[in-house]
Amino acid sequence: MVDGEQLNDSSAIIDKLGLKILSKKIPESTSEDEETKWRRWVDNHLVHVLSPNIYRNTTEALESFEYITSNGKLIPTFD
């Protein structure tokens, strides 16, 4: 949650936090910069290989997910 708005996309989160914390404006240029390329790679590739490499098995992954969803606010909010 940033300023009461739930953000689900990693790039949207980075943009909002950049504005909030660093006063960094989102570039208006249409050219693809290095940061945009890395974000696209993370969104399209890295996120798909993380879970199988973090958890030892499916049961452990599901247990972790259950713990996170049942124990509430584990994600910080920025107001």
CA gap 7, 1 in Å, rounded: 6
DSSP β-bridge partners for residue 78: 2
pLDDT at 25: 63
In the chain, the percentage of residues whose pLDDT exceeds 70 is 78
pTM: 0.49
Please provide the size of the chain in residues: 79
User: How many CA atoms does the CB half-sphere of 53 hold within 13 Å?
Assistant: 5
pLDDT at 2: 75
pLDDT at 74: 54
Angle at the Cα of 44 from the Cα atoms of 48 and 69, rounded to 5 degrees? 50
Q: 47 and 40 in contact (C-beta within 8 Å)?
A: no
pLDDT at 13: 84
